[in-house]
A and B are shown apart, each in its own frame.
Chain A
Amino acid sequence: MESLIKRIEKEIAALEPLAIVDQVGTVRAVGDAIAEIDGLENAVLNEMVLFDPTFDRTLEEALRDPSPVYGLVLNLEEDGVRAVILGDTAKVYESMLVRRLPVTLGAAAPAGFGRLLSIPVGEAMIGRVVNTLGEVVDGKGPIDGTIARPIERAAYGVIDRAPVDTPLHTGIKAVDAMIPIGRGQRELIIGDRGTGKTTIAIDTILNQKSEPEATRPICIYVAIGQKESKTAKLVAELAEKGAMDYTIVVTAPASAPAALQFLAPFTGATIGEYFMDQGKDALVVFDDLSKQAVAYRQLSLLLRRPPGREAYPGDIFYLHSRLLERSAKLSKEKGGGSLTALPIIETQEGDVSAYIPTNVISITDGQIFLQTDLFNKGMRPAIDVGISVSRVGSAAQTKAMKKVSGKIKLELAQFRELEAFMQFASDLDADTKTQIDAGRRMTEVLKQRNGAPLPFEMEAAVMFAATNGYFDHVAPEAASGAEAKLQDFLLREGQDVLAVIRESKTISEEIEQKLRTAFDVFRARTAS
């Protein structure tokens, strides 16, 4: 052992280390996860910096915990910069050395300083749970074979985009029939707490299992400011139902610093863009952007940026617009991939005219509005069809669904008017009663339990039955049960018809005839 020590000491004595050149600054003050740094005159916005814990310590002290802490430069000031600390704040102290990071282009020599915040992305992330910085948090070992991508990136321009024309099936009848979502669209899910917003997003992810593998989108669920128990339960549900085979979860829990909560959606978008750039489809769920806005407000106030309305910074709109604009359907020349976004916003007391909700509504291509009243009445999913909309519309529907769902929204709107009128009228004519019963039946048919998304061919068949009077023989309150029986019937005796609809994505006259024949049998059985 003695000779080993001597040998190593001899090696150290003979060491001729190469000189490295860094641009550095010094921490002037640190507090609330914000570091004020002197120097770094050439620092740029959103640049990563490294708080070096080894600079002014002995080697022995430095090796006890040499892991650096990273920061993100967010304020460039006259006499220094302010950076938000992206790691353990307790490790950063006054007079600590701060280094700019070199920009490396692959394996080449560093090409200057000013590395933007980047995360690792790659196929190997599928099935894993990572944090905002792309670090693994599921305890299943490191992720190999990834490349680094900056989390802030300009969205594709108009020329590089193609119209949204491919449906993204959520498996939720009410959505796919009346508020269809296309691949490349941004559809907002908005409602009060506990109205089923996350359920719609998760059911959409679960439903992608029924897509053929070649066209199945990679799903990314970004949990922002959520309870870790809730995220763990969600991951377990996705794993149990086989959805983790094509899903990546990014988590910035409520216990994470505000900076990580603010950046988490950008991480999700970056991962999604990686797959989109390869010509694949991706779906990213931001749950929820209200918490991201609050985190950004906290950071901005700590950075002494002037507060605006509701104390949000002046660029709160830009925060969401630049995030959501990264969703796109790319042209064939760019690979034809797509990134669909389902941002979630939580309202207070159903107020969709508040600041953040109106901002995001104006950015997205439609919204699914969930009402507490409907939820409490047992209408689940509690979608208010009247004010929910998809601006892409039927361009994002298969011909099969377009055929069967064309008039549903109008009929439901008429039903709602009649329902309100009914409270004041004592005697109703037969036609009005029929219309009201039809509306009630359709409302019951559109109910769906969570965690049970339907493949689109089943949706199309059920909606065909509903819109062609095949539930008229049951009482409106029993329509939901009859619909469940219809599904069982089709699974037992209608697989061939479902297969044809799945393949052709349309309801031709021949298929229509087969459906009518099958449903006549069903009606006869249930009527008896």
Chain B
Amino acid sequence: MSTTQQLSRQYAAALMRLGALPGANEATLTKRLITHLRAKGRLGLLPSIVRALKKHAAQTAHTRPLLETARVEDRQETMRAAAQAGLSTPDVVVNETLIRGWRAQVAGVLVDRSAKRALTELYQNLTR
């Protein structure tokens, strides 16, 4: 990795850490970053810092908790079942392709209790 890339990653990581602190103000952070980069003569790093931030956002998008249910009317029951399984998610998304049941993806763990998965496995076992 080049020095530019390393620096951009470090600035992006610092921004994310500062942004996660309680009471952090994004407008103030951005202003301070520009002032700092201008003082150090590193304004040219801005595009690569943005790229690093976008990359991180794309990566973390996959790790956000996700709870899906097959039918709208099953939302409450799905949230209860997920809570009983120890899975804490802010909301539930309706995904009709599941056919029946639900599935949850939290922190690299997938719990799948959907009919789609069961039927797919049945088909694979029958046709192996």
Of A18-26, A211-219, A394-402, which stretch is located at the interface? Answer: A18-26
Contact A63 B117 (CB under 8 A): no
At the interface, yes or no: A517 with Cβ under 8 Å from chain B?
no
Known: A19-B85, A59-B116. A66 touches B100 (CB 8 A): no
Contact B112 A15 (CB under 8 A): no
What does the 1/0 interface line of B101-124 toward A look like (CB < 8 Å)?
A: 100010011111111111110011
Contact A12 B100 (CB under 8 A): yes
Contacts of A26 in B (CB 8 A): 62
Known: A62-B116, A66-B124. A38 touches B59 (CB 8 A): yes
- The A-contacting residues of B in range 68-112, CB under 8 angstroms, are 85, 97, 99-101, 105, 108-112
Contacts of A42 in B (CB 8 A): 108
Contact A21 B109 (CB under 8 A): yes
At the interface, yes or no: B63 with Cβ under 8 Å from chain A?
yes
A66 and B128 alpha carbons, distance in the complex (Å): 11
Known: A15-B100, A17-B118, A58-B97. A24 touches B110 (CB 8 A): yes
Known: A38-B62, A59-B116, A66-B123. A21 touches B111 (CB 8 A): yes
Contacts of A58 in B (CB 8 A): 97, 116
Contacts of A12 in B (CB 8 A): 99-100, 115, 119
Contact B63 A18 (CB under 8 A): no
What does the 1/0 interface line of A72-115 toward B look like (CB < 8 Å)?
A: 00000001100000000000000101010000000000000000
Contact B113 A18 (CB under 8 A): yes
Q: CB within 8 A of A15: which of B109, B111, B115?
A: B115
At the interface, yes or no: A40 with Cβ under 8 Å from chain B?
yes
Contacts of A25 in B (CB 8 A): 108
Contact A24 B100 (CB under 8 A): no
Known: A17-B117, A62-B116. A38 touches B63 (CB 8 A): yes
Look across to chain B and name the residue whose beta carbon is closest to the beta carbon of A15.
B115
Look across to chain A and name the residue whose beta carbon is closest to the beta carbon of B105.
A24
Contacts of B63 in A (CB 8 A): 38-39
Shortest distance from the beta carbon of A9 to any chain B beta carbon, whole Å: 10
A21 and B109 alpha carbons, distance in the complex (Å): 7
Contact B120 A66 (CB under 8 A): yes
At the interface, yes or no: A57 with Cβ under 8 Å from chain B?
yes
Contacts of A15 in B (CB 8 A): 100-101, 115, 118
Shortest distance from the beta carbon of A76 to any chain B beta carbon, whole Å: 14
Q: CB within 8 A of A21: which of B62, B110, B115, B124?
A: B110
Shortest distance from the beta carbon of B97 to any chain A beta carbon, whole Å: 5
A80 and B62 alpha carbons, distance in the complex (Å): 12
Contacts of A67 in B (CB 8 A): 124
Contact B108 A41 (CB under 8 A): yes
Look across to chain B and name the residue whose beta carbon is closest to the beta carbon of A57.
B97
Look across to chain A and name the residue whose beta carbon is closest to the beta carbon of B127.
A66
A211 and B117 alpha carbons, distance in the complex (Å): 53
Contacts of B118 in A (CB 8 A): 15, 17-18
- The A-contacting residues of B in range 34-66, CB under 8 angstroms, are 58-59, 62-63
Contact A62 B111 (CB under 8 A): no
Contacts of A99 in B (CB 8 A): 110
Contact A20 B112 (CB under 8 A): yes
Contact A17 B110 (CB under 8 A): no
A505 and B105 alpha carbons, distance in the complex (Å): 69
What does the 1/0 interface line of A25-56 toward B look like (CB < 8 Å)?
A: 11010000000001111100000000000100
Look across to chain A and name the residue whose beta carbon is closest to the beta carbon of B63.
A39
Shortest distance from the beta carbon of B10 to any chain A beta carbon, whole Å: 13
Contact B110 A97 (CB under 8 A): yes
At the interface, yes or no: A13 with Cβ under 8 Å from chain B?
yes
Look across to chain B and name the residue whose beta carbon is closest to the beta carbon of A37.
B62
What 4 A-B pairs have minimum CB-CB distances, sorted nearest first? A17-B118, A19-B113, A26-B62, A24-B110
Q: Could you write out 26 A-B pairs with CB less than 8 Å apart?
A: A12-B100, A15-B100, A15-B115, A17-B118, A19-B85, A19-B112, A21-B109, A21-B110, A22-B109, A22-B110, A23-B109, A24-B105, A24-B109, A26-B62, A28-B58, A38-B59, A38-B62, A38-B63, A39-B62, A39-B63, A39-B108, A40-B108, A54-B116, A63-B120, A67-B124, A79-B59
16 additional A-B residue pairs with CB within 8 Å, beyond A13-B100, A66-B120? A12-B100, A15-B118, A17-B100, A20-B113, A21-B110, A26-B62, A28-B59, A38-B59, A39-B62, A39-B63, A41-B108, A54-B117, A59-B116, A59-B119, A66-B124, A95-B62
